Chain A
Amino acid sequence: MPDVAMLEIRDLHAFYGESHVLHGVNLEVRQGEVVTLLGRNGAGKTTTMRSIMGIVGKRTGSITFQGRELIGMAQHKIPRLGIGYVPEERGIFSSLSVDENLVLPPVVKDGGMTVPQIYELFPNLKGRGTTQGTRLSGGEQQMLAIARILRTGATLILLDEPTEGLAPVIIEQIGVAVRKLKQRGFTIVLVEQNFRFASTIADRHYVMEEGHVVDMIPNDQLATNMEKLHAYLGV
């Protein structure tokens, strides 16, 4: 059923304490799609992801995943529906070894990748098991942050700026891995500033500005919308 939305966000408002950060976000993601959220800093991309995971102060509106409403659901139950979150700061734990970091998120569904399959996808992590998690390079930490979600059987992956601060050769490796994940059928929402990277992977792009979605551009119409996009992103 490729036409049915797997994730659907309607009129989402989010708040951090007093500040109103999202002002009515609307978007949908179909199963097997890779969708990016583009926009300038502070446009609300990360907050949209955090709202899906339930880790913002307050949310109103509607977020449904496979037909189930996430707003009001206990925080720890949301990932158990099969949503994996890779935060912008990567969140590798310094008091855990690489292996412990890798197996930390509980398996929530059948069909997750096995550890050998994960090593095949990210060969850099192999043989580093006993290293302290934060002693890995930035790129390796990013790979580990993605890898640990793949084990859990999550079918929707939220990737927040996976290329931020990384060298081009590492970005290339992460791009290869994300494309392989797409082939395996993962649905991916990607926050990206690096829009060249995003265009090699995504099916559609949502453009965010000041806390809501202002445009949606299918990847195959990207070339004809370049000017508009540059204006949105201010590049």
Chain B
Amino acid sequence: MSTIFGIPPQALFGQLLLGLINGSFYAMLSLGLAVIFGLLNVINFAHGALYMLGAFVAWLLLTQLGLGYWWALALSPLIVGAFGVVLEKLFLSRLYKLDHLYGLLLTFGLALIVEGAFRHFYGVSGQPYPIPRELTGGQNLGFMFLPNYRGWVVVASLVVCLGTWFAIERTRLGAYLRAATENPVLVQAFGINVPVMITLTYGFGVALAGLAGVLAAPIYQVSPLMGSNLIIVVFAVVVIGGMGSILGAVLTGYSLGLLEGLTKVFYPEASNIVVFVIMAVVLMIKPAGLFGRER
């Protein structure tokens, strides 16, 4: 086969696939951050740690209880979500009347504690997590080889992102969420229990991080540092997309993943900084982010 812009197609599509995989995680994580920021006005720095927790819960379910991938896919987000509910009730809910900075500091501290605890018990070397039997192997697409598990991750994250978008933009429950994001006092004055809604929204947002963690476990190793490696890029994604914009978070996540992949092909030296360069440019031109609204 010939080349595309002087690049062998296998290399190009291989990197694009990697970019799409990374983009899937960026999208799922920034989606959760956007949902949480929208209603709680909290920049959830613990998001990466909770993503790591999701992966670790899956690994512990497997090694301690013998429960496999599909069980983990269902249970781990529930466990992480429940943990989030407890965090919100115990700590975050006391900070809403204060400056945003306090929520950021609190969640940053929580992230350090959670990550520190896992480092203490499991070290920094990763734990391997096997690909589920049903998803081993791959497809030869002619122009490239697609491992089944990676295809599954892309599809699963698309379904999760579109499902969340639909739930927020097209359902009655989502209308409550959007309304409470704009004017929680009035929504409460219509008879809706906004504090409970806030708690559940935080639980849902971090459950998304937990789910992403389970999906990531067989691709990256399950390691206490996996969250902090990823979360910095995810924050850049959220800044580029615009804080609090659901669709913006998802689209920006996938696009930046792909862009990173392309950069790896054409100018590998820049692949680690391309996201941050774009962030700087976007902040200069459109400080509220590509999809964000000025508040």
Contact = CB atoms under 8 A, between A and B. Distances in A.
Interface of A: 53-55, 74-80, 85, 87, 91, 93-96, 100, 103-106, 108, 152
Interface stretch (B139-147, B189-197, B198-206): B189-197
A80 B188 contact: no
Contact of B189 (A85, A93, A96, A100): A85
Interface of B: 172, 175-176, 178-179, 181-183, 185-194
9 contacts: A85-B189, A87-B186, A96-B178, A103-B175, A104-B175, A106-B191, A108-B191, A152-B190, A152-B191
A80 B182 CA distance: 21
B185 A96 contact: no
Contact of A55 (B178, B182, B188, B191): B188
Main secondary structure of the interface of B (DSSP, over half): helix
A191 to B, nearest CB: 15
A104 B191 contact: no
A70 to B, nearest CB: 12
B183 A93 contact: yes
Contacts of A108: 191
B41 to A, nearest CB: 15
Contacts of B193: 74, 76
B34 to A, nearest CB: 13
A9 B119 CA distance: 60
B191 A95 contact: no
B175 A79 contact: no
Contacts of B172: 103
A96 B194 CA distance: 17
Contact of B191 (A80, A96, A100): A80
A104 B176 contact: yes
A53 B175 CA distance: 22
B190 A106 contact: yes
Contacts of A100: 175
